[in-house]
Copies of this chain bind each other. A is one copy, B any other.
């Protein structure tokens, strides 16, 4: 179909744009930069996208939808809150490590969106945060009380996970599994004093 070709090219365009946005930042990247990076003329970009803002929005909302979908799949049928938390973290970090550019754009360029675009992504963000908060609430009733404010805990976890674009190199010595196990152990050990055993840790399966 012609629609397929168009859709595929849009996908490729978004991937190129995410790479450049992650590297130079959204506002420092010009549409001319994107044209060069994607091999299309400047005017040609506007056949696939209405504006630079929509480009940013599409990158963010699509990435976020993929994260949420992965989370939904990994939580199906899992009721134990510790397991749910481990899978929540595992999913987030897996996607982050395998889609570093997109997730950096999602994390770092949150303030660059405006209007309906901003509202839509913020709604997803609220739902996603709610899932984590509910798991933590579950954890509080089934384990010893945490002594750590739940909001502080939730956003600290997001901080650990979303900060990694500032330092982590997916191609370096440090494997994703070490990263995921570290974050899981830090958070679970700190939040409920639970030493996370080897076999209950995420196996950090890719993608």
Report A's interface with B, CB cutoff 8 A. Answer: 25, 27-28, 108, 110-112, 147-149, 151-153, 155-156, 158-164, 166-168, 174, 178-179, 181-183, 185-191, 193, 195
Within the complex, the shortest CB–CB distance from A24 to chain B, in Å, comes to 8
* Tally of this chain's copies: 2
Among candidates B155, B163, B166, B185, residue contacting A148 with C-beta atoms closer than 8 Å:
B185
Given contacts A112-B25, A195-B193, whether A178 and B152 have CB atoms under 8 Å apart is yes
Within the complex, the shortest CB–CB distance from A202 to chain B, in Å, comes to 14
CB-defined contacts of A164 to chain B, threshold 8 Å: 155, 159
Question: Measured between alpha carbons, how far is A27 from B160 in the docked complex, in Å?
Answer: 26
Question: Measured between alpha carbons, how far is A60 from B186 in the docked complex, in Å?
Answer: 30
- In the assembled complex, 9 residue pairs joining A and B whose CB atoms fall closer than 8 Å, in A order, are A25-B112, A148-B182, A152-B182, A153-B186, A155-B168, A185-B190, A186-B191, A188-B190, A189-B193
Among candidates B27, B112, B162, residue contacting A159 with C-beta atoms closer than 8 Å:
B162
